[in-house]
Amino acid sequence: MKIALIGDLHYPSKNGVTKPIEQKILQARDEFFPYFLNQFFSEQVDFHIALGDLTNFGKADEYKEVYQFIRQYDSNFVHVIGNHDLYQMGYDAVQDFTKQKPYDFMEKDGAIYVRLATARELSPDNYGGSLDDQQLLWLEKIIHQSRTKPVIIFAHHPLVDTTKFSNRDMYSIDPAIDMWSILSQKKGKGFYLNGHTHVNDIRKKEQWNFCQCCAVMDFPSIRILTIEAGQISFSTKEILLSERMKENLLILKNGVEAFVSEPNASEITSIRELTVCF
């Protein structure tokens, strides 16, 4: 099994958040994002996964446009919903575009793959993560039934105090939700992959490995997850940019409303690869 992942894309509407975007930002958008998505979907993998905030403000035209790009490719695309993806619409409305349930799981080749729904609906002032009791019970059941099979979780928000910046206010799943009491019950190896904080990071806590993906506009890159022959590996592929594309990226980082750039996102941690046997 091979999976390509990206962190927060923040594809913006031409109408902006509070005002239409400037022509130079629109031109940069229309050059950079198709180029990056083509690089992403050119990866020969079993699944392509976006770890949330695929859209910049959850607007219908953002969904429509970015999914027009995505559906050009013959890909098993999975959209983990992020907080920005729900600023204008709830989970039910978003499913009209994603054609996916908010959360689900599958078992394939001896591993369990879980997709969580951690974003709050219509709550731009509270961008921290949350899970309701139903989803928590569902997750706990999966953890129990997995026994020693590796479990790989895809979510937008990290657990508090696991990866870089996850201890900041609203940068994680609500600390009042004791996610660790569920994950710590896992027998065997676990992997938790997330976005949200806009920085790359890899950390380990007991039997769990936490792998965080940065925002695309801060560091255009793709993470590759490979599961084979009793081991799981996680690596980073930087996307090469022309000078023109670098200029476009700078215009977008400084000009897209509601996007908060994280300086030196790629250099906050030097750990970009991980291999774990199971």
- Look up residue 129 and give its two tokens: 């993560």
pLDDT at 270 over 80: no
User: Are the C-beta atoms of residues 53 and 214 closer than 8 Å to each other?
Assistant: no
pLDDT of 33 reads 98
pLDDT value at residue 273: 87
Q: Decide if pLDDT at 58 tops 80.
A: yes
The candidate with the shortest Cα–Cα distance to 219, out of 261, 258, 183, is 261
* CA dist., res. 98 & res. 78, Å (int): 8
Residue 40 domain boundaries: 2-277
Best CA proximity match to 165, nearest among 199, 121, 213: 199
* Mean pLDDT computed over every residue of the chain: 95
What confidence score (pLDDT) does residue 268 get?
A: 57
Mean pLDDT of 24-33: 98
Per-residue pLDDT tens digits for 233-262: 999 999 999 999 999 999 999 999 999 999
Task: Place 278 in a pLDDT band, splitting at 50, 70 and 90.
Answer: confident
Q: How far apart are CA 104 and CA 83, in angstroms?
A: 18
pLDDT confidence tier of residue 162, bands split at 50, 70 and 90: very high
What does the alpha-carbon distance between residue 253 and residue 261 come to, in Å, rounded to a whole number? 6
Provide the pLDDT for residue 267: 59
- Asked whether 118 and 131 are in contact (CB, 8 A), the reply is yes
Number of domains the chain is built from: 1
The predicted model scores a pTM of 0.97
Task: Give the C-alpha separation, 17 to 35, whole Å.
Answer: 23
The predicted-structure confidence for 82-128, as pLDDT tens digits, reads as follows 999 999 999 999 999 999 999 999 999 999 999 999 999 999 999 99
Q: How confident is the model at residue 272 (pLDDT cuts 50, 70, 90)?
A: confident
Which ranges of the chain would DSSP assign to H, the alpha helix? 23-41, 60-70, 91-98, 133-146, 179-183, 243-255
Asked if 45 contacts 79 with a C-beta cutoff of 8 angstroms, the reply is no
Q: What is the pLDDT of residue 271?
A: 66
Question: Residue 266: what pLDDT?
Answer: 65
CATH code assigned at 270: 3.60.21.10
